[in-house]
Structure 1
Amino acid sequence: MNGSLTVLGHGSVDWGLVAIFATVYAGMFLGGLPKLRLDRTGVALLGAIAVIPLTGWSVTEAAQTVDLPTIVLLFAFMVVAAQMRLGGFFGAVTRGVGALPWSGPMLLGALIAVSAALSAVFSNDVVCLAVTPVVVALCRQRAMPPVPFLIGLACAANIGSAATLIGNPQNMLIGSMLKLHFADHLRHAAVPVVLSLVMLWVWLVHGTGRAGWAERAPPALNGHDTPPFDAWQTAKGLSVAAVLMGVFLFTDFPRELAALIGAGVLLLSRRLHSAEVMGYVDWSLLLLFMGLFVVNHAFQTTGVAAQAVAWGATQGIHLHEPGTLTLVSVLLSNLVSNVPAVMLLLPHLGPNPQEAGMLLALVSTLAGNLLLVGSIANLIVVDLAAKQGVAIDWRQHLRLAAPAALGSLGLTVGWLVLTR
């Protein structure tokens, strides 16, 4: 293999890496590769395997391109979220909201607030997985239209997750690689997140022309299967989550180490088998991250990305400027999804990467509400709803969610510019 690399020459290797990079990101856009039974994770993993011989790296050298603190933090919070799901916490909270003697619009507001708050701590994807079936069942019980509630759930989960550096995978990545301070991010993000949630509720209730509100819940097809509420397991998970939040907010102790210790405490259980908890860990997402780290690092060695950024600067296009970064982040997040988009943009944030990184964390997350494919949380809600007999297509999502997404993006950029 080394001989082959010498014959090919440096330029040929560079173009090979560019071709692999382009193929991998085409897979991110398409959700896989045509005529092959590969999802995004499979594409990223095969891309990582392919670049190793082209770069001449050893497996150890390839592994060193992976940002281990990000992977550890993501894994640890998957364990914390698994504890809360197995304890029946998310279902119990949702049923508590549904039991309130309020009108449909007021219940929607409560669901938006609760979903956002939970997502800021336990991640948007986890909340959508646990809450969607319960929301559909509650809409049936109270004869309320499910579509505004489900779109409200997905959008609120995305918006709420933007508030913290643990609310979603891309924020964990940004916070870990740029060493952002947890409390600083929360302080800057809190106002635009809260205003965006209010805007979402106002739009869904008053600005949609009652689109979807005239519908009625369909007849029950499948029962929702959520774990029963377990007060002890819930209290255990909430205690660990509260301690971790305190550590993140008030100390400089490494977040990934604190989260890993918390996950270890939760795995010490006489009632929940560790294999059951590990079954809720999204190993596919962890592999996606690792594959993209390897592919992106190999692509950086070609110099193509740096040359493109330098050329853009000669044309007056600077990624560190709020308007440019917002536009590029929104476009990329809805083309290849927000995690790959963030990985592409992180090395090119200019002279003040911490400030640009905070904007990137907010914008890449809020952009997920624009299109149905813009966020995994959206797809989770739509897929689970379909299994319960509630169909939501991309047109419905665009009509109900996109105006709120654009409004929240404009509001966020304006707020951050005013408070610089």
Structure 2
Amino acid sequence: MNRATIAIAGSAAVLALGLLSLSEAWAAIDPTTIVFLFSTMVVNAYLSYSGFFQLALFYLTRLTTSPFGLLVTLTFGSGLLSAVFLNDTIAIVFTPLTIALAQSLKLNPIPYLLALAAATNLGSVATLTGNPQNILVGSFSGISYLFFAQVMSPIALVGLAIQLGLLWWMYPEVRSLQPQTYCPTFRWRIHRPLLRKTLVVSVAMLAAFIVGLPLAQSAYVAAALLLITRRIKPQRVLKDVDWGVLVLFAGLFILTRSLQNLNVLNGVANWANHPASLTLLVTGLSNLISNVPAVLLLQTFVAPDDTQSWMLLAAGSTLAGNLTLFGAVANLITAEAAAAQGYPLSFWTHLKFGVPLTVMVLAIAYGWIVWQVP
């Protein structure tokens, strides 16, 4: 069974055993999180259909064609885009383009794929819209978009720089500054009217986030405005919404509520009361059961006004994604697409890069958050 099916089966078992009534299960689902996540998926789908992500990568690669220059632009470019848009979207769109770009420059794609996977995770830690677990934290804590970005953006930037240094050390072939002969091997279509409209709506949505308007409502209005168009059939966009993730979230909300009612997690409470143990706990759980379930389980022990703990929960669950190949969906997306193109990205190849990266960035994040958010 995939993750969504497991969530459905688990929540059905909860209902069948009488641990929750249907109305209690429905009430356990947080509408703010579901609406926010759905709306950002719609906005990202329109950006993809308009050609925005492909155009962004094209302009990034025009800055340089040297092996190291490409590594720098890919790292910081994908990191920046992941901070603004959902990181999984960046991984899905950029992976085949990155492979094609490396092939056209006659470069080994593996270090660039590692850079892409890690940068999408590192960049996404910077904002509440960067990844699903941050969306959860924003929904439960009420932390403002701007404050979250002010605290977390330095962590993302330092992490991206550390990632760059590690790949430079591990892969000598990426150190060259000599320009490569570039023969583009991929094409895309830019839908200019749709691109203009989507960019205007996306910028307005981000402005609403920054000035402090409700996140879910702002994103929902933006999604609705984009769906009202003659440029592309809305059913095409709605097919691209990851309904499985929305079902997964709904099922996990129900399962978490049943665990609360059964007091199964009382033993975890002591761990969650200290910043260091909370960080280690969410990091371990994120690699054991995935980051979204980890945040859902641990949020029950964090007070709504405990900003430091919410920040540590967001940072730990996101940065833990770089520890192993299975730590984040973005890693698996990159690995599967690379294998399909004949470039296997093994568990051990990723582990040698992911362990030192995660340990260093997580230590820096912990110290920074404890210092900045007493």
Do the structures match in fold with TM over 0.5? Answer: yes
Whether 1:249 aligns to 2:210 is yes
Report the counterpart of residue 411 of structure 1 in structure 2: 364
Q: Pairwise mapping of residues 336-415 of structure 1 onto structure 2 (< 5 A)?
A: 336-349=289-302, 352-415=305-368
Q: Pairwise mapping of residues 262-341 of structure 1 onto structure 2 (< 5 A)?
A: 262-306=222-266, 308-309=267-268, 313=270, 318-341=271-294
Contact 1:79–1:278 (CA under 8 A) maintained in structure 2 = yes
The superposition leaves residues 300-350 of structure 1 with CA deviations (integer Å, 9 ceiling, x where unpaired) of 1011212x135xx3xxxx413221111111110111110011111101125
Whether 1:78 aligns to 2:15 is no
Whether 1:148 aligns to 2:108 is no
Q: Secondary structure of the residue that 2:272 maps to in structure 1?
A: coil
Amino acid at match of 2:202: A
2: distance between equivalents of 1:107 and 1:407?
24
Report the counterpart of residue 150 of structure 2 in structure 1: 187
Contact 2:60–2:74 (CA under 8 A) maintained in structure 1 = yes
Q: 1:124 to 1:143 in 2, by over 3 A?
A: same
Q: Secondary structure of the residue that 1:301 maps to in structure 2?
A: helix
Amino acid at match of 2:61: G
Match of 2:221 among 243, 261, 266: 261
The superposition leaves residues 79-125 of structure 1 with CA deviations (integer Å, 9 ceiling, x where unpaired) of 00000111111112112222333411111111111101111111110
Q: Pairwise mapping of residues 83-94 of structure 1 onto structure 2 (< 5 A)?
A: 83-94=46-57
Amino acid at match of 2:240: Y
Q: Structure 1 residue 369: deviation in Å?
A: 0.3
Contact 2:283–2:317 (CA under 8 A) maintained in structure 1 = yes
Contact 1:151–1:397 (CA under 8 A) maintained in structure 2 = yes
Whether 1:170 aligns to 2:133 is yes
1: distance between equivalents of 2:304 and 2:101?
50
Q: Pairwise mapping of residues 189-208 of structure 1 onto structure 2 (< 5 A)?
A: 189-205=152-168, 207-208=169-170
Runs of 4+ that moved beyond 6 A: 211-214
Match of 1:230 among 191, 194, 203: 191
Amino acid at match of 1:293: F
Q: 1:75 to 1:305 in 2, by over 3 A?
A: same
Q: Structure 1 residue 141: deviation in Å?
A: 0.6
Report the counterpart of residue 181 of structure 2 in structure 1: none
User: What are the ranges of 5 or more consecutive residues in structure 1 without an aligned counterpart?
Assistant: 1-37, 215-222
Amino acid at match of 2:230: R
Q: Secondary structure of the residue that 1:64 maps to in structure 2?
A: helix
1: distance between equivalents of 2:328 and 2:214?
28
Amino acid at match of 1:130: V
2: distance between equivalents of 1:175 and 1:391?
36
Amino acid at match of 2:321: G
Contact 1:363–1:409 (CA under 8 A) maintained in structure 2 = yes
Q: Structure 1 residue 363: deviation in Å?
A: 1.4
The superposition leaves residues 359-415 of structure 1 with CA deviations (integer Å, 9 ceiling, x where unpaired) of 111111011001000000000011111122211000111112321121111111111
Deviates more, 1:145-154 or 1:344-353: 344-353
Q: Structure 1 residue 213: deviation in Å?
A: 7.9
Q: Secondary structure of the residue that 1:257 maps to in structure 2?
A: helix
User: What are the ranges of 5 or more consecutive residues in structure 2 without an aligned counterpart?
Assistant: 177-184
1: distance between equivalents of 2:322 and 2:310?
20
Report the counterpart of residue 24 of structure 1 in structure 2: none
Report the counterpart of residue 124 of structure 1 in structure 2: 87
2: distance between equivalents of 1:87 and 1:182?
26
Report the counterpart of residue 112 of structure 1 in structure 2: 75
Deviates more, 1:368-377 or 1:378-387: 378-387
Q: Structure 1 residue 227: deviation in Å?
A: 5.0
Q: Secondary structure of the residue that 2:265 maps to in structure 1?
A: helix
Contact 1:319–1:350 (CA under 8 A) maintained in structure 2 = no
Contact 2:111–2:171 (CA under 8 A) maintained in structure 1 = no
Contact 1:111–1:153 (CA under 8 A) maintained in structure 2 = yes
2: distance between equivalents of 1:295 and 1:58?
12
The superposition leaves residues 270-292 of structure 1 with CA deviations (integer Å, 9 ceiling, x where unpaired) of 12100111111000000000001
2: distance between equivalents of 1:124 and 1:351?
26
Amino acid at match of 1:239: V
Contact 1:119–1:161 (CA under 8 A) maintained in structure 2 = yes
Q: CA RMSD in A?
A: 1.8
Percent sequence identity is 36
2: distance between equivalents of 1:351 and 1:115?
32
Q: Structure 1 residue 352: deviation in Å?
A: 4.9
Contact 1:65–1:294 (CA under 8 A) maintained in structure 2 = yes
Deviates more, 1:319-328 or 1:72-81: 319-328
Q: How many residues align?
A: 365
Contact 1:85–1:227 (CA under 8 A) maintained in structure 2 = no
2: distance between equivalents of 1:132 and 1:358?
29
